[in-house]
Amino acid sequence: MHTDLSLAPIGVFDSGVGGLTVAREIMRQLPNEKIVYFGDTARVPYGSKSKNTIIRYSKQIIRFLKTKGVKAIVVACNTASAIALEEIRPEMDIPIIGVVKPGAKVAAQKTVNKRIGVIGTEAMINSGIYTEFINRRDKDITVITKACPLFVPLVEEGWLKDSVTYEVATRYLSELKDKDIDTLVLGCTHYPLLRNTVGEIMGDGVSLVNPAYETAVSLKKLLEENNIAAGNEHRYASNMYEFYVSDTAEKFKRFANSILPFHIESIGLINIEEY
Amino acid sequence: MHTDLSLAPIGVFDSGVGGLTVAREIMRQLPNEKIVYFGDTARVPYGSKSKNTIIRYSKQIIRFLKTKGVKAIVVACNTASAIALEEIRPEMDIPIIGVVKPGAKVAAQKTVNKRIGVIGTEAMINSGIYTEFINRRDKDITVITKACPLFVPLVEEGWLKDSVTYEVATRYLSELKDKDIDTLVLGCTHYPLLRNTVGEIMGDGVSLVNPAYETAVSLKKLLEENNIAAGNEHRYASNMYEFYVSDTAEKFKRFANSILPFHIESIGLINIEEY
């Protein structure tokens, strides 16, 4: 069965630019799907904010995305996925998934020695959420976490293959290298852009888990299960992807154009407090 | 003449923790003055936000500080000083100063060869505000600017005397070293914490201007002119300094305790959107 809803776009949101790595994976793995992306650039970062604030922000963004007729929502923000998703889901009439659960699930499946490392922002690591989700799947897994606060600004500076980034990463990861992990979760949406550096430092014995990739896999399954996956109706559409932000779009545009396989000209500016 | 107002505190605000370097200078240079500090940690950073948003935020904070009976306000945030101060001043019934003008003034006085460098966050540099304020004082001065986006996260990581920080600073400052400047403005409130590294790299031929220091000098003059400077009435008060933030206080407390000469235990949490 093929419903009208299948033609509707996927809503993807993040506190800023990081979620574009998730949007990029969806574009790759689900090339028939339209996407409406919202980056909350006026209120980034979420990591330092309270649970109530993050829930309120997430609800406002979902109300905005619904005005765009989305058929499903991807919370492409680790903090919002961890802190707001379970509170919001009961109120939703369309499917919603986050980035934490798919990453945690695959990490728990991949580990052989039951020792998993997780890297992320300070707020993400302090939340303990990956540990919780991994241990929900298997309580015998030991999770070793490490905050890497300089990775986001290094990525946003564009220093992806760089001696400074390599030195910072070596320093951050040295603790994890001593802990005999066989699996490492890239627990921040910016980090897939550093996966070569991280992979090189951790070595072949450690599998990297990219939650952006796993989220796109989960989304595909979710759309199929709900019978709302797009066919190739949009294949020649010129407006497959729409981008919105809550404040000045210049930095967003520059970052988006550096990581997406096409050039974005137009980005909508939204007063998200009105939603 | 000595008014009651002289006993009132100074209000100091910033988008986050950076303005603590300004508060610290006020504590050093005006040890008789009480301070009420507000860090807008829920809405940091301001640099990526629009002019209207920054004016709205600044007005909310000023309304909050006035509930604390402040006699004068220091905008210890480069972005708010640059973007909101001139709009807000006409509405104020107490003195208000920012950090940009004092720094620009001293830089214009210090330079001999009329070539000044300015370093700051990307948003600050893009605003062009230091160039404008310096050229208002002397249009023949050439201002060379350089954004240093990694400096804030390096300072917040606590890597102040560190090989990575030295390498990043060497890279950022190399452009400025070729430009024959004799004066360099530390145009971000975090940067005074890197002044030894910056000074070493730039060498003895370049004078550093610390706007936090110059702002405290200006504040002292302003209080005296308005006849509202405190005497030593507060000398033995236990509550000289009060700190408030708009969201989770833990990171703020850690940073504050790393740079202030005393230990902060209590930080008030304010819902700033209510002001």
Question: Does the pLDDT value for residue A123 go beyond 90?
Answer: no
Question: Does the pLDDT value for residue B238 go beyond 80?
Answer: no
Q: Which of the four pLDDT bands, split at 50, 70 and 90, describes residue A261?
A: confident
Residues 6+ apart with CB under 8 A from A158: A258
Q: Indicate yes or no: CB of B150 within 8 angstroms of CB of A149.
A: no
Give the H or E element holding residue A202: helix A195-202
CB atoms within 10 A of CB A3: 11
Residues A61 and A272: their CA atoms lie apart, in Å, by 7
The answer to whether the CB of A264 falls within 8 A of the CB of A253 is yes
Question: Does the pLDDT value for residue B10 go beyond 60?
Answer: yes
Residues 6+ apart with CB under 8 A from B178: none
Q: What residue ranges define each of the domains in chain A, with the CATH number in brackets?
A: 4-98+213-274 (3.40.50.1860), 101-211 (3.40.50.1860)
Closest CA in chain A for residue B41 = A48
- The predicted pLDDT at position B2 comes to 47
- Nearest Cα residue to A81 out of A18, A143, A30: A18
Residues B83 and B76: their CA atoms lie apart, in Å, by 13
User: Catalytic residue among A70, A77, A100, A194, which?
Assistant: A77
Closest Cβ opposite residue A248 in set B48, B150, B251: B48
Q: Indicate yes or no: CB of B164 within 8 angstroms of CB of A171.
A: yes
Q: Indicate yes or no: CB of A247 within 8 angstroms of CB of B163.
A: no
- Rounded to the nearest integer, the mean pLDDT of chain A is 93
- The predicted pLDDT at position A238 comes to 76
Q: Which residues of B touch A (CB under 8 A)?
A: 41-44, 48-50, 53, 122, 149-150, 152-154, 156-157, 163-164, 167-168, 171, 247-248, 251
Q: Indicate yes or no: CB of A149 within 8 angstroms of CB of B149.
A: no
Question: Does the pLDDT value for residue A237 go beyond 80?
Answer: no
- The predicted pLDDT at position B106 comes to 98
Question: Does the pLDDT value for residue A126 go beyond 90?
Answer: no
Which residues in chain A are contacts of B50 at CB distance < 8 A? 42, 247-248
- The predicted pLDDT at position A51 comes to 85
- The predicted pLDDT at position B126 comes to 87
Chain B interface disruption, residue of A48, A154, A251, A255, most B CBs within 10 A: A48
Calculate what percentage of chain A has a pLDDT beyond 70.
99
Active site residue B77: yes
Residues A173 and A146: their CA atoms lie apart, in Å, by 8
User: Catalytic residue among B107, B188, B193, B216, which?
Assistant: B188
Instruction: Rounding to the nearest 10 degrees, give the CA dihedral for residues A62, A63, A68, A71.
Output: 50
CA distance B140 to chain A (A): 31
Calculate what percentage of chain B has a pLDDT beyond 70.
99
Mean of the pLDDT values across residues A103-129? Answer: 94
Q: Which of the four pLDDT bands, split at 50, 70 and 90, describes residue A111?
A: very high
Which residues in chain A are contacts of B156 at CB distance < 8 A? 149
- The predicted pLDDT at position B3 comes to 54
Q: Indicate yes or no: CB of B164 within 8 angstroms of CB of A163.
A: no
Which residues in chain A are contacts of B248 at CB distance < 8 A? 48-50
Cα–Cα distance list, B206 to A150, B118, B202, B209 (Å): 29, 12, 6, 10
CA distance A93 to chain B (A): 30
Mean of the pLDDT values across residues A206-210? Answer: 98
The answer to whether the CB of A187 falls within 8 A of the CB of A118 is yes
Question: Does the pLDDT value for residue A49 go beyond 80?
Answer: no
Q: What is the pLDDT of residues B15-52, one digit of tens each?
A: 999 999 999 999 999 999 999 999 999 888 887 778 88
Which residues in chain B are contacts of A168 at CB distance < 8 A? 164
Closest CA in chain B for residue A152 = B153
Greatest alpha-carbon span in chain B: 54
Handedness of CA A265, A247, A270, A92 (dihedral sign): positive
Terminal Cα distance for chain A, rounded? 34
- The predicted pLDDT at position A235 comes to 76
Please state the length of chain A. Answer: 275
Note if the pTM is more than 0.90: no
Q: What is the pLDDT of residues B142-189, one digit of tens each?
A: 999 999 999 999 999 999 999 999 999 999 999 999 999 999 999 999
Question: Does the pLDDT value for residue B1 go beyond 50?
Answer: no
- The predicted pLDDT at position A3 comes to 54
CA distance B165 to chain A (A): 9
Active site residue A148: no
Terminal Cα distance for chain B, rounded? 34
CB-side neighbour CA atoms (13 Å) of A200: 10
CA distance B44 to chain A (A): 8
Burial of B218 (0-12, 13-18, 19+ CB in 10 A): buried
Which residues in chain A are contacts of B167 at CB distance < 8 A? 163-164, 167
- The predicted pLDDT at position A127 comes to 86
Mean of the pLDDT values across residues B71-96? Answer: 94
Which residues in chain A are contacts of B43 at CB distance < 8 A? 43
The answer to whether the CB of B239 falls within 8 A of the CB of B215 is no
Q: What is the pLDDT of residues A130-140, one digit of tens each?
A: 999 999 999 99
Count, in order, helices (H) and strands (E) of chain A. 12, 10
In this prediction, the answer to ipTM > 0.90 reads no
Q: What is the pLDDT of residues A144-200, one digit of tens each?
A: 999 999 999 999 999 999 999 999 999 999 999 999 999 999 999 999 999 999 999
The answer to whether the CB of B267 falls within 8 A of the CB of B71 is no
